[in-house]
Structure formats: structure tokens, C-alpha cells
Structure 1
Amino acid sequence: MEISVPDRAAPGPHAPTAAEGERDAFTAARRAFWTGPEGATTSSNRPDPPSSPRSLLSRLVEEEYGVGGGAVHPGQYAMATAHDVAVARLRKRVRAGRTPGPEECVRLAAGSDGARGAVFEAWPEAVRLHGGPRAARALRSGFRTARDPETTAMLLHLAAAAGLRPLPEDGLLRLARAGSRRVRHAAWRLLARYGRQGENRLRTVEPADTYERLLLEALRHRPRTGGRPSLPSSGLVVAQSMLMGRFDRPGEGLSGGLSVLLDSVGEALASTDGIAGVLTVVTACRPDLEADRVLLRRRSPGHWILRLPVDTDRPAGPQDIGEHREALAWWATTLLSALGRPLDVLHVRYADDGSLALAEAARRVGAGLVFTATPDPHRRMSELLDRPDADPDHVRLDLHRVFLADRLVARADRVVGIAGRGGTAELLHHFPQLARGHGTRRLSAPPEGVAPYEPPPDAAKRCGLLLDRIAGKAGYAEGPRRTVLLSVGRLHPVKQQDVLVRAWIESGCHRESVLVLVGGSTRAPDRQEFLTRARIHAATLGDPEARENLLLLPALSNADVRSLERTLADPVHRFRARYVCASAKEEFGLAVLEAMEAGMVVAGPERGGVPHYLDDGVNGLLLDTSSPHALGRGLRRLLELDDEAAEAMARRARRLVRTEYSASAMAQALAGHYADVASRGRKAQSGPSPEPFGPAPV
């Protein structure tokens, strides 16, 4: 297993040092857990309960990474419940390879998504160690005490995942007619495992909508994929995933640069030697399925889009995709098995329940697994340790995501990273099990890449209307021209468009520049888009000049964005333009790279992966985006940059991107990783998931 890094990304001055690691309490706790008993907190050296309340995170980190086992002291952790502690201890046991019995798994199934995620991970090994009969008895007991549809559906998922029949057929048929869709669908999937008689029962079921029709067709072994892809007999079949947002709408909702990246890399991979075909795995909610029932469609020669149905009325987000984990795993297993050729490698990129569902599907179909690991949300965890006022739901979600990342690392045949300013040093800092487990293999991070620019046939006409609006704002017709500040990205708190607007106004930059924000949907904005727009509107209240100099555009196609950037950068059009990315952090920042490739001078966040390729003052500017005041200083510096220096920076930036960050170079690097993973042989399709790094030594 590896993480790949280009030679130019040797650990730099901003890589985490040992001293910084000591101050990073969360990372120190993780390091102690992974390095053995000598570094772990024990019950004998644990301090006495403090007299004042400590944070929820402190309590749960103590239980999840220390020895734990102590009592919950009333008032000490005001928000820590017995369930919180039980989940933390379960995650610790799963990490350490000490699998709980099926009874404990079933008991914790009646809880939060975080608990269910840990149970899903523990369950296959619990069944293997303790046997199917004992697991079936535990499930029967759970069905008798289940108090809500979510728990009942979870127990049905566990039964189906292990091939168990804990209920008589009549009892299962009653659940198959339940009012809860989740219970009904889980019961259908389990019923299909009851042999021919169960399948006959399914033939009498009448579907209520397209999702149910597709589900029943798949259960009857006739999945409507739209046909099998025509794949050559030689070469690897690989899949890559994007489960959040809509693939064809970058900049709207949860759809960002990943859709652009996977589109270009999928096409580049398909034409790379040794690759027979590429599948980009996405999700389709009920409205998407009503509009288009076909689940497999060719995107370009050798590149197909495979849609996994999700029983939701809108695209699933990170907070709710855990509810569909086993359904996603089932759909992925079913559809990947229907390709006509075995899948060789599956590559997942986010630490979420959907990625872990696909990891389980990869195990079931015998495919290798590659995982791109990033230190998110790890970076901010230590900041929350001593904050009793931290939102408890956010704390629980972040701990769950860290656990998911650890499980993906444990399941993966290879881990790759996104290089930051210190190469892979930051990744090893936050994933100590990687440093412990990689042995003599080189750690690396394949460079991400930008596809060659291909202007749409009517690029000039499409850009013309936008340029007229921008030119009008910038005052090009009536006198001294204002600088155009362009920022492209989905409207989301992490992208901080509202913080950018506040910084722009508070620093006075709004008096001498036009700010153009591109992103978000005006047709059906999601909650985050609505809130971000509201905060932008609030920031401009009482300042007519700011409102006049702000242009908020909906998401544009990638081709239109790149055409606009090229036009703004072209001296023929006389625009004085700069590109700004104000994100709290960017793991890579594809939009920044695209602006650099277009010839714009760019400014991006100093936190995350942007400093890996953007050298402050050489080929762009790095911004402190931690507050409006700090960001305002950076904007002022960007505006005061003289044109000659800006042009020199832009030339260096464009040269770097075109020589080192192409989609074809990324595809070549990934193809090498995929070939190495596939050469190790297809994995067994049953039994526990492999643990390349082994359990933690605690």
C-alpha cells in the first residue's frame, strides 16, 4: 500500500514537526494508539475527573484512543451520553482488531449513524468468529425489541450482508409490505436470498415508482444497466467514484471540481496503455431516475458512467448517505457483477459512508481498492478538544468521518495522497498507521491534472454576454477601469464566498474592484447554497457601492469557465483580472490550477494542497483565509500587485501547470498504481476485509 509523491514535493518547512505534533493533542492521541501500549493512556495514569466540565470531544477521544473503561462522571462531560461512550469504545475495538460479539453489534444497531457505521465494519468478522447460528439468534432478539424502522432496516441489512435467515418467511413477508420504504426494500433484498420461493414472492410485488421498479428488476436478475460495455479482452477494468452531487453540474450543490477531474481523468485513462475501460460511479436519486432509467451510459470512448440508485428525493449528502450504505453496497455489487468482465480496481476518494459502501462492494466482487486519503477533518480536531461549546452533532460527525478514513485505509490495497506543502508529511502526521505500516515502500501522491482546453464551438458568443456584464460593472466604458476579481466554486461554507465578500468590503477593495462569484444553482438551490447567498446579501446591506460592484453568477459549465478565464487573461481584451480562491482549505484546488493554466494571476489558501504548486510571490499569492481581516490583507496585496509582476507570475504559473499537471500525466501515474494492485491477484469474495496494516497494537 502506498501514497505517491512527486520528487518536487519533498517535506518542506511547513510540514508538521515533532514539536507541533506534541501540541496537537488529537494527533498525539492517535499516534499513541497506533504505536503501542507504551504511548497510550492507561487507567492507572489517567488524571482524576476535572472539577469543571470538559468538552464532549475530550471525553470521546479519551474513550476512542485511550484504554477507556472508566465511568462517566456526572457533570464532567455534559453532552456525553452512555451511547456516545459505547460507540467510541466500539470504534476502538474495531481499530484494534478486537471484534465484539454479534449481541453487542445488534444492541448498538439501535442508535446513531455513527454507531451503525461501526457495526457494519465489525459485523462480518463477528459472524465469522462466532458463527452464523449465534448471529442469527442475536438478530432475532433484535427484531423483537426494535422500536423504529431505522433499526429494523439495519437488522435486515446485517442479515442480508452475512447471508443469514433470522426470520421465517411469513415474518419477512410482513416486513416486505411495511409502510417504511427502507424496511420494505431491505426486506425485499433479504427475501431474494430465500431461494426460488423468495424470488417467486417478489414477482407478486407491485412497484410504486421507478426506483422500486429498478430494484425489483435487479432482484429478479435483470438489472436495467442499459447494456454491457464493449470492453477489450485485455487490459484492466477500473472504476472511480463520485457519490455526492450531480456529475454533469459542477458548481451546483455538492458538485465541485471532482466531477471535472474525474471526467478528464476518466477520458485520459481510457486511452492509456493497459486500461480496457473506465467506469465513473455516481448516484441517482428518485427524480433523476424518473427522468432517465438507464443506469449505464457511455461518456466517451472507453469511459462509462454507472449510476447507483439512491432512494431519496434529492442528491444524498454527507449527513444522510450513511442511511443508504448497505443499499449502495448492494447496488454496486449487483451492477458491477453484471458488466460481463470482472472489475479489477475501484478507486474511492472521500472518507464517507458511501466510499465505505463501495469498498465493501469491491470486496464482494473481488476487486482491488485504492483510496485517496486526506487529513480532513483531522486538521481541526485539536482546536475543538478544549471547547465545551463545540456543536455536539459536528463533533460526532467528525469523529465518525475520522473512523471511516481509518477503515478505508485498513481496507485499501493502496493508499494515495494529495501532496500538500510538506509532501506526504502531513498525511503521515494525521494517519500514524501509514507510517507504521508502509514498510520499505515509497510513499507517494500522484499529481492531479488539468485536461487540455477545448473551446466550445460558440465560445466567443457564450462569453460575450458575460463579458458585457463584467465590463459594465468594471466601468470600462466611462473611465478608469476597476480590477476584476474572479472566484469560481460551489456555494458552500468551506468555500467561504461570504467571508470573501466581507473581506472585500471591510478592506475597502470593493471601491476599486469588481468581484465576480460563479457558482450555485438558481433553479433548485440546496440549503447550503441558500444560506451562503443570504450571508452574501447580508454582507452588502447598507453599502450600495459594494452591491453595485458585486456580480453573482450561477454555476457555468467547465468549458464556459475556462473560456471566461482565458478571455479575462488575454491582454487583447484589456481586462485587469485576478483569480481568488478564499476557501478555508483546498485539498488540491483544481479550479485554481485551471485559472493558472488560463494565464490568470491567482491567489489561493495557504491551508491544504495549494501551497504544493503555488509558490508565494513567484507564481501567485498565498492567502490567510482564517478570518475576513486576514483575507482582506491578502486581497489588498493582490490588488496592489503591479501589472508587470502579475504577468510574470502568470507566465510561471501557466508553464508549471502545462508541464507538470496534465490529466494524461495523472492517468499514467494512476494506471501504474492500478496495474500493481491488480497484479497481486483478485481478492477472495467472502470473509473479513483484509487489513494491510494489521490491527492497532493497543
Structure 2
Amino acid sequence: MVGTAFAPPSAAHGPARPGGTGHEIRDPLVAARTAFFNGSGWTAHLPEPRHDRRLPDAQGELANLLEAEYGLRPRAVPPGEGPEVDRRDRAVAGLRRAARLGVPLTPEALLAHREGDPRLMAVLTELWPETVRWHGPRHAEEVLHAMLGESRDGPVAGHLLDLAVAAGLHPLTPVESASLARTTTHRAVRHSAWRYLRQLPGGPTYLPHPSQAADAYERLLLAPPVPAFGPERQGPAGRLVAQSMLLGGLDTPGEGMSGGLAVLLGGLGDRLAATDGISGVITVVTAGHEDLAADDRLAHDRAPRHWVLRLPVDAPSAPAQVEMHRHRPALTWWAVRLLRAMPRPLDVLHVRYADDGSLALADAAERLGAALVFTATPDPHRGLAERHAASDPADPTAADALRHDLHRVFLADRLVERADTVVGIPGRGGTRELVRHFPGLARLNEGRGPSAPPEGIAPYRPAPDEDDRRREALKRLYRDGTRPDALDPRDRGLPVLLCVGRLHPLKQQDLLVRSWLATGAHHTTTLVLIGGSPGTGTAVEDDIRRRIDTLLAPYPQAARRLALLPALPNTEVRRLQRALAQRTADACCWYVCPSAKEEFGIAVLEAMDAGLPVAGPRRGGVAHYLRDQVNGLLMDTSGQAGLMRGLRRVAATSADDRRRYAAAGRKLVGERFSVTRMADELAAEYTALHTG
């Protein structure tokens, strides 16, 4: 399905509106996209560029890549021949332009790129359905058959079979595909062939017996279970909604890639399932080999009318965002197969990340006849040009990071284009910033842009023995200063700086420790960090821990005043926050969020709800609700100097101001950021959609 409200520009568009690019736009990515989607165009390489078509403040590799991808040329698909743009970059840029312009390439022209890198394959996959529609399934099938004959035992064969499955084509007979599955030396190709056989008439009989599978994942592929989940056909009336949480674990916030979104979707799903107009909620997650070994269920109840569906992935655990492209065809296949087995058809599927996993579920929604909802954010658009302005094109890591960000910008465009509706995250200026990065969204709601349902947190529910549990939480925290996860009991009277979140470079826990040491705050405060997998962590988590250990090595006293606790269940985190908030003024606790940015900041809201004064990043979504010196403090977290200034402001805040910030923050959360309000507004969005 295609959301026509988000159609890209075409050659038939009329003259550009005056000032479409506007030399006042300082961000080169925004300037390029504004000109492209308004149909006016710009170029960085004209001999005498017009002032309204110049690329502002861009040079080097970023300018060349933007020119290749967005610069309007006489031909529908630009050559992208700026300096330093190699053949691969030109191909990616040209295909992205074709996708945005709706140019249907022939199967031969499109599949000429079949041996491209993952970013090229992502664009090819997006263009393929339109190619089949325009040039006919029979011709597309013939081209696939010919190319499969040329690429029988390479990864390309798997990609071609995945394209066949996506379009319902049959380029190979059951005998041919079974032979390919049996003889290939590539595991991914074997899996693609098995999925392909499942869709062929008579194909399943050619699958090997599950006893021949190499491992548990292959046994699932050969004998897919049919878990019982979802509302009964005669159950409550209303929309059946699925929401995705493909990165990290739903029940393990703070571990690996799992963060505030896990907390948000868990509480939201529970509340949404009890909301009028909603018959049930399915939260879709991933489960790798280790996850399935610990719990082999593919679906289970989480709360009344709220189920968790686990899509198997051929990886040890939930794949990282940069690896999600490898799993896109399998995720689509599993989602369609499992969601279609429910007693009632799915009505709405809501995705929230601009990545290949979300596009996999968008494919599934289309095949299931479900409406697609996408939550768009200004990430990675916001600050992309600034992040990469000083990068060294000779540094392969920096070059790859730039291309990955541009890849995600394209994926977000595709999700906007394919969604039946798009919603935003609330910001200080409404959704104006979102429209700035997605000009096509300005057409929604009579020019007001997309709606932005409020985000919210579930109410904290104290245990019957809550007071005893809070005392025990503080006792564990102050049990032994020689332990890395505890503080010295003798420091119980010192103020506490608390920070909760997954261990990740964007969260900048190491920068917080460096700034804490540099300001001398370790002489007068303790620092408590909560986050990271218990036991063996991910490579990213281990790197952050090593950085912190290195910083603490010259400061043995500071090491006793810093506790790095592994991620705790959300209830335990919120209980500890309340225990710390109850302490005396001299032993006060601040919640400090040092993140480079937060799209919203669920952990910040939870700290405010607990009655803690909060200091958070000026950049990103936190500034939407945290007002400096009104209900907290805003800090410049772009570097050590800014964070040090923020910590000094925290230290200089009077007890009266701390109490005022805490009271105002708690009042704000209670009035504006409840999960009930969020569920009600999303339910209204879902019920307004045309489904089926």
C-alpha cells in the first residue's frame, strides 16, 4: 500500500515555489531535500550557481554525495558524477533518486545491481515491486530465472529468491530450488531456498525432514510452529494492533540495545489493550539463537489482550541496527506467517525506527492487508551535516558512518511514502522540525503536518511492603565501596548523581565520568550509573566500561564513590529513584542525563515522576518538556566543557530551587505524560484508518 499523501515529486510538477531552497537554510541536507521535494532542485557544481540553488556550508564528501542523490538533472536518474563519487556511490544515489521519483526500472536494469552492497540491495528491494507491476510478473520471472542460472552458488542466488518470494514469482521449479538448497555452501542461500519452496505449489514436499537441520533455527524453518496468540474471532470488537520493538529486548531495558523504548512499548501495549476501540495488541520482538535456547516460545501473554510475538532471527541475539538488512527477508516471512495464523486478521502495524527491520514489517503489513503507521523522528537528519563536516574521507569508519546515516534517511523516506499515516514525537515547536526534514509531511492535516500523540509513562505501583523494599534497595547500594556496583557506606551522607540508560556512546556515560572527575565533584558527591548487560556484555558495553575504568584508575577515592550497576528491572529502578528522592536535603539526589541527544527521554520522565530534580541535554526532545530553571536544568552535552558547566550549575543549585524543580517536574508528568493519554490518542489514530 502507498500513502499518496507522501508521493515524491515528479517531472510533471510545476515551477518551483520562490525560495524553495532558500539560501537562508544553513543545513546542506535540509537545503538539498527541500529543493528536491519542492521540485526546484539545486546543485553544488554549477559554474555560476543561482543563490537559491546553492548548497550552503557543504564541501567535500558530504556535498558530493548530496549532489549525486538530490541534485536535479535533465535525466530522471542522475549520474552523480561529482568528484570523489565512485561507481558504487553513484549507483546507490541513482537508485534512491529513482525510488523517490517513482521511476520504474526494467528488471534487467534493476538487477544489474544484484551484486551490490547491502545499501544498494535495500534500494533494489524497494524498487522491485514497482518494477514487477510495470513490466509484468512473467517478464520479471524470466529475468530472475536467467540470472539464477548464472549465480547458482553465491549469495546473489539467495537475494534473487527473496525477490521472487516478495513478488510471488516462481522462477525455479521445486526440483531446481531443492537442489540449490541441498548443494549450496551458503547458509543464507539455503534458508532463502527453503522459504521459496514454502510458497511453491507442491514445494513443501521437497523440504528436508527437520531432523536434517543443522541447529534449532533451521528446525524452526523446516517445521514452523503455529503458536496460539491473539484475540478470538468472537472476542472484543475493535482494531487489532501490532507494534514493533525489533532492537533489544522488551523486558530487559538497559541491556544491549534495549532502552527507553522497551519501557514505553511495554507499558503502552498493556494500556492500549484495555482502551476502547482496541481488541488486542501484539508487540513484535526478535529472538536469536541464545534467546530461543532460554525460552523456545514464539508467543506469550504479557497482560490481558497484550501478546508478545518473537520473530526468530539467524543470529546469536537480537541483531544490531546496522546488521538488520541481513534479516529483512526472513523477518518479513516470519511476520507474515505468524501474524496470518491469528484467529483474527491484523488491522494496524506500527513501526518506530528508520531501519531495514521496519521496512521488513512494512512489507509484512502490505501482504497482510494491514494499515501501516510510522513514527517519524528527525533522526538521523538532525545534525547529520554537523556530525560529518569534519570527518576525514580517508577514514573508512567515518566514511561508512556517513553512508549509513544517508541510508537511514532513505529508509525513513520509504517508510513515510509507504505508511498509511505518519505521526511525530512531540517537540517544542510541534512538528515543525519534522516537516523541515520531511517536506512532504507538510501536506498532512491541511498543512499543519503530522499529529504528535504525547508519549507517556505507566504509573508506578508500589508493592505492599514498599517501605521495606526501598530500605533494602539503599542498603544494597551502600554495601561496599570496593565493589564496582556499590558505594562506600561512609559516603551515605553525600549527594548522589544518578544516571540510568543503556551503555552506549550516544548516552555518554564516559563523558559524564570524565566531567565529574574534572570538576572535582568526586570530592563532594557520589555517582551511580545503571545500565548494561549483567555478566558478559556486548562489545559496545564492554568498551564503555573500559573507558570508565581507565578514567577512574588514577583516582582510587573516586572509584569508591562511583557505582556502575547492571541494568535493573524497570520497577526496581523506579523504586530506587523514590528511595533516593526521600533522603535529606544534604544527601539529595539529582538525575543527570548526559546523552548527546534524546529523542524523548523516558528515563528522564520517570525520574521527574519519582520526585527527583533533573538535569538533561539541551539538544533533542528533552527540551520539549524540561524548561531550564523552571522544572530542571538544561545542559550543553556536546562536549566536556558544556557538561562540566552543567555539573557546576547542579552543584550551585539551592535546596529551595531543587525542591521547586522536583515538584514542578512531578506535576508536569502527572498532567501531560501519562500512558493512558498516549494510548487514547493512538487508539484514535488507529481507528481512523481505513483497513482491510
Whether TM exceeds 0.5 here: the answer is yes
- Judging changes above 3 Å, is the alpha-carbon distance between structure 1 residues 24 and 475 closer, same or farther for their aligned structure 2 residues? closer
The 5 A counterparts of 1:2-21 are none
1:187 aligns with 2:198: no
Match of 1:336 in 2: 339
Are the aligned partners of 1:57 and 1:384 in contact in 2 as well (CA < 8 Å)?
A: no
| Aligned partner of residue 25 in structure 2, secondary structure | helix
- 1:364 pairs with one of 345, 362, 367: 367
Give the distance between the partners of 2:645 and 2:251, measured in 1 at CA: 36
Match of 1:12 in 2: none
Q: Which moved more, 1:23-32 or 1:56-65?
A: 56-65
Give the distance between the partners of 2:244 and 2:444, measured in 1 at CA: 26
- Judging changes above 3 Å, is the alpha-carbon distance between structure 1 residues 458 and 116 closer, same or farther for their aligned structure 2 residues? farther
Are the aligned partners of 2:507 and 2:594 in contact in 1 as well (CA < 8 Å)?
A: yes
- 1:169 pairs with one of 164, 168, 174: 174
Match of 2:64 in 1: 59
- 2:42 pairs with one of 40, 43, 50: 40
Give the distance between the partners of 1:520 and 1:23, measured in 2 at CA: 38
- Judging changes above 3 Å, is the alpha-carbon distance between structure 1 residues 578 and 21 closer, same or farther for their aligned structure 2 residues? farther
Are the aligned partners of 2:581 and 2:612 in contact in 1 as well (CA < 8 Å)?
A: yes
Give the distance between the partners of 2:437 and 2:190, measured in 1 at CA: 41
Q: Which moved more, 1:627-636 or 1:567-576?
A: 567-576
Are the aligned partners of 2:488 and 2:560 in contact in 1 as well (CA < 8 Å)?
A: no
- 2:634 pairs with one of 619, 622, 625: 622
- 2:134 pairs with one of 119, 129, 133: 129
- 1:152: how far off? 1.9
Q: Which moved more, 1:465-474 or 1:395-404?
A: 465-474
Give the distance between the partners of 1:479 and 1:562, measured in 2 at CA: 22
Q: Compute the TM-score of the two structures, normalised by the length of structure 1.
A: 0.89
1:648 aligns with 2:650: no
Match of 1:528 in 2: 540
Match of 2:403 in 1: 396
1:309 aligns with 2:345: no
| Aligned partner of residue 264 in structure 2, secondary structure | helix
Give the distance between the partners of 2:197 and 2:364, measured in 1 at CA: 20
- 1:105: how far off? 2.3
| Aligned partner of residue 374 in structure 2, secondary structure | strand
The 5 A counterparts of 1:436-455 are 436=443, 439-440=446-447, 443-455=450-462
- 1:248 pairs with one of 241, 248, 251: 251
- 1:19: how far off? 8.0
- Judging changes above 3 Å, is the alpha-carbon distance between structure 1 residues 272 and 64 closer, same or farther for their aligned structure 2 residues? same
Give the distance between the partners of 2:415 and 2:264, measured in 1 at CA: 21
Match of 1:381 in 2: 384
Give the distance between the partners of 2:136 and 2:539, measured in 1 at CA: 45
- 1:445: how far off? 0.8
- 2:671 pairs with one of 651, 659, 665: 659
- 1:414: how far off? 1.1
- 1:479: how far off? 8.2
Q: Which moved more, 1:242-251 or 1:589-598?
A: 242-251
AA aligned to 2:291 is D
AA aligned to 2:427 is G
- 2:328 pairs with one of 322, 325, 335: 325
| 1:20-68 deviation digits (Å, cap 9, x = unpaired) | 96111111000000001x34339866879x9xx9633222211111135
1:90 aligns with 2:102: no
Give the distance between the partners of 1:152 and 1:21, measured in 2 at CA: 49
- 1:204: how far off? 4.1
Match of 2:433 in 1: 426
- 1:164: how far off? 1.3
Q: Which moved more, 1:452-461 or 1:482-491?
A: 452-461
Match of 1:212 in 2: 218
- Judging changes above 3 Å, is the alpha-carbon distance between structure 1 residues 388 and 291 closer, same or farther for their aligned structure 2 residues? closer
1:292 aligns with 2:295: yes
Are the aligned partners of 1:56 and 1:388 in contact in 2 as well (CA < 8 Å)?
A: no
AA aligned to 1:397 is H
- 1:193: how far off? 2.3
| Aligned partner of residue 445 in structure 1, secondary structure | coil
- 1:201 pairs with one of 180, 197, 206: 206
| 1:117-137 deviation digits (Å, cap 9, x = unpaired) | 111110001001011222123
Are the aligned partners of 1:140 and 1:167 in contact in 2 as well (CA < 8 Å)?
A: yes
| Aligned partner of residue 240 in structure 1, secondary structure | strand
- Judging changes above 3 Å, is the alpha-carbon distance between structure 1 residues 532 and 209 closer, same or farther for their aligned structure 2 residues? same
Q: Which moved more, 1:285-294 or 1:489-498?
A: 285-294
Match of 2:424 in 1: 417
- 1:464: how far off? 3.9
| Aligned partner of residue 379 in structure 1, secondary structure | coil
- Judging changes above 3 Å, is the alpha-carbon distance between structure 1 residues 476 and 519 closer, same or farther for their aligned structure 2 residues? closer
AA aligned to 2:294 is A
- 1:388: how far off? 5.3
Gaps of 5+ in 1: 4-16, 683-698
Give the distance between the partners of 2:319 and 2:585, measured in 1 at CA: 42
| Aligned partner of residue 111 in structure 1, secondary structure | coil
| Aligned partner of residue 467 in structure 1, secondary structure | helix
| Aligned partner of residue 604 in structure 1, secondary structure | strand
| 1:623-667 deviation digits (Å, cap 9, x = unpaired) | 100001110110110111111110011001101101111011100
| Aligned partner of residue 306 in structure 1, secondary structure | strand
- Judging changes above 3 Å, is the alpha-carbon distance between structure 1 residues 148 and 383 closer, same or farther for their aligned structure 2 residues? farther
Give the distance between the partners of 1:46 and 1:561, measured in 2 at CA: 60
Q: Higher relative CO (CA 8 A, sep ≥ 6), structure 1 or 2?
A: 1
Are the aligned partners of 1:459 and 1:560 in contact in 2 as well (CA < 8 Å)?
A: no
| 1:66-103 deviation digits (Å, cap 9, x = unpaired) | 13545746xx42xx420111011100110111122212
- Judging changes above 3 Å, is the alpha-carbon distance between structure 1 residues 665 and 244 closer, same or farther for their aligned structure 2 residues? same
1:671 aligns with 2:673: no
The 5 A counterparts of 1:560-575 are 560-571=572-583, 575=587
| Aligned partner of residue 474 in structure 2, secondary structure | helix
- 1:581 pairs with one of 582, 585, 593: 593
Gaps of 5+ in 2: 7-19
- 1:215: how far off? 1.8
Give the distance between the partners of 1:574 and 1:462, measured in 2 at CA: 23
Are the aligned partners of 1:55 and 1:388 in contact in 2 as well (CA < 8 Å)?
A: no
The 5 A counterparts of 1:480-629 are 481-571=493-583, 575-629=587-641
Give the distance between the partners of 2:604 and 2:352, measured in 1 at CA: 19
AA aligned to 2:430 is G
| Aligned partner of residue 113 in structure 2, secondary structure | helix
Give the distance between the partners of 1:19 and 1:483, measured in 2 at CA: 50
- Judging changes above 3 Å, is the alpha-carbon distance between structure 1 residues 406 and 70 closer, same or farther for their aligned structure 2 residues? closer
| 1:551-602 deviation digits (Å, cap 9, x = unpaired) | 1111010000000000111146973110001111000000000000000000
1:277 aligns with 2:280: yes
| Aligned partner of residue 556 in structure 1, secondary structure | coil
- 1:517: how far off? 0.2
AA aligned to 1:286 is H
| Aligned partner of residue 199 in structure 2, secondary structure | coil
- 1:199: how far off? 1.7
Match of 1:105 in 2: 110
Q: Which moved more, 1:225-234 or 1:645-654?
A: 225-234
AA aligned to 2:31 is A
Give the distance between the partners of 2:214 and 2:125, measured in 1 at CA: 29
| 1:339-371 deviation digits (Å, cap 9, x = unpaired) | 110111111111110011111111111111111
Give the distance between the partners of 2:150 and 2:208, measured in 1 at CA: 30
- 1:541: how far off? 2.3
Q: Compute the TM-score of the two structures, normalised by the length of structure 2.
A: 0.89
Are the aligned partners of 2:444 and 2:450 in contact in 1 as well (CA < 8 Å)?
A: no
Are the aligned partners of 2:153 and 2:180 in contact in 1 as well (CA < 8 Å)?
A: no
Give the distance between the partners of 2:220 and 2:490, measured in 1 at CA: 60
- Judging changes above 3 Å, is the alpha-carbon distance between structure 1 residues 490 and 457 closer, same or farther for their aligned structure 2 residues? farther
- Judging changes above 3 Å, is the alpha-carbon distance between structure 1 residues 455 and 622 closer, same or farther for their aligned structure 2 residues? same
